[in-house]
Amino acid sequence: MSRYSSKDNLPFLRRMHDVFLDNERRSRKESEVREKRVSQETREGGKSWEKSIRKEEARRRGIINRERAAEKRRVREEKKQAGREKIRLRDLNETVVQRERRLRRNERERTRRRKKREAEARYLELTPFREDSAIRGMVERYRIEPTTAFDVLTFLELARPRVRGLLDGLRGNMSSNIRLELICLMGKELEDGREELKEASFITGNYKLHGVDALTDEIWEQMKEKILIEFSRYQKGGSNYVLKRVQRLYIHVGKFIPFRGKGCSDPLPDFIRKKHALINMKNTDDECFKWAVTRALYPVKINSERISKKLRKQAQNLNWKNVEFPTPVKGRSIISFEQNNGVNINVFSWDETDGFHPVRISRSYSSGGATVIRLFILFYLFY
């Protein structure tokens, strides 16, 4: 008698297990496919619904736009009809003289509008641009060069807002010196019939703008009047030259730094230091003028550039009334010191262009009498 064994049924169980797994996978896959189909149908249904809504909205917008366009055309036609009717009634009631006056008035208006458009077009050409600079950017030159012919007065009037806009853009805490230079092409007819051409320059003086000050109408009128006077003198001087056109306008802008003795800690250039002719005071405050003048009146042979206690006591022996620090070269400070202490002070400077040159010579300077103090200031920037 054979006994039942699970080992004998193992292949059958495995086959049944495989069949069960296959059925499970098949049912899961069919379920996923069914879910995808349902979701796709749902999305397509939603898209078709949104598409139909957009289509309907576009159709309604088209209807509204067509109705608005038709209304505008109707209003325009009504205005044209009313204008034609007005002209017909005017022609019926208008005399010949009135018609001629109206035509002349219309012609003047068309001419005025045409000139205005031409002036606006020419105004767009008058854009200043930077041409060059000097002294480490302290002096700049801008140029306005028209492409069409102008007379002097018209050109200055058209260039005025452009120059003002340029200067407004350059404004800041630093003062500026402004100068205009107008270049004109002049010509005259020679005896042999040929025409001689030459450029003439008309320059204004320097006008100072302090800090955030704008180019005022008063300053501009002064500069314009100066140019017109120079231009009139040129024509009336017997040269027989007449204006052909305005060539260009230069705007010279120089940054203005008040010249003050302040902080002597910067080293001297080697070619000056090696001469051993100057004492460069080593102070860190703004009283450079005080220490330089005191050292000049109380010289020492050793460490003359130091601000010692003895030098401070010696400075108290001098009268510093009405002297401001840092001390400006131009002003009442140095004059007051000269009058208070009976000395003469001359100020000299040096730059790469002019070399050594005087900046201030004492008004009471003489070869004898009062003590003469010579001060030196390096890198005097001027315009």
Residue 382 has pLDDT above 50, yes or no: no
| pTM as predicted | 0.43
Query: Which string of b and e fits 268-284 if b means at least 16 CB within 10 Å?
Result: eeeebeeeeeebbbebe
Check pLDDT > 50 for residue 367: no
Mean pLDDT over residues 36-57, rounded? 76
Report whether pLDDT(74) > 90: yes
Q: Poorest-confidence range of 36-50, 187-201, 249-263, 295-309?
A: 249-263
Flag whether pLDDT at 322 surpasses 60. Answer: yes
The crossing angle, in degrees rounded to 10, of helices 288-297 and 333-341 is 30
Over range 139-158, report the average pLDDT: 84
CA distance 266 to 280: 9
Instruction: Give SS3 for 246.
Output: strand
Q: What residues does 229 pair with on adjacent strands?
A: none
What is the rounded distance in angstroms from the CA atom of residue 370 to the CA atom of residue 65?
Answer: 96
For the chain, give the percent of residues with pLDDT over 90.
7
In sequence order, what E strands does 65-194 have? Answer: 129-134, 139-144, 175-189
Per-residue pLDDT, averaged over 98-116, amounts to: 86
Tens-place pLDDT, residues 62-73: 899 999 999 999
Instruction: Choose the weakest-confidence range: 54-63, 166-175, 224-233, 332-341.
Output: 166-175
| Phi and psi torsions of 132, nearest 5° | -160, 175
Residue 299 confidence (pLDDT) above 60: yes
Torsion of Cα atoms, 186 then 190 then 192 then 196, to 10°: -30
Average pLDDT over residues 232-253: 84
Torsion sign, CA atoms 210, 214, 217, 223: positive
Please provide the average confidence, as pLDDT, over all residues in the chain: 78
pLDDT at position 71 is 93
Per-residue pLDDT, 70: 92
Write down the residue that tokens 């749902």 correspond to. Answer: 42
Mean pLDDT of the region 162-182: 77
| Alpha-carbon gap, residue 293 to 334, rounded angstroms | 11
- CA distances to 149, 203, 274 from 304, rounded to whole Å, are 66, 48, 16
Quick one: which H or E segment has residue 346?
strand 343-351
In angstroms, the Cα distances linking 7 to 3, 11, 69 are 11, 8, 92
The residue written with tokens 């012609």 in the block is 107
Give the confidence band of 7 by pLDDT, cuts at 50, 70, 90: low
d(CA 162, CA 156): 10
Q: Which of 6-15, 178-187, 283-292, 373-382 has the highest mean pLDDT?
A: 178-187
Q: 113-117, 211-215, 218-222, 340-344: which range is least confident on average?
A: 211-215
pLDDT at 182 (0 to 100): 92
Question: Considering only CA atoms, which of 279, 306, 311 is closest in space to residue 376?
Answer: 279
Average pLDDT, stretch 316-345?
A: 83
Which residue from 161, 258, 166, 250 is spatially nearest to 208, judged by alpha carbons? 258
Mean pLDDT for the stretch of residues 7-15 = 68
Instruction: Report residue 381's pLDDT band, with 50, 70 and 90 as the boundaries.
Output: very low
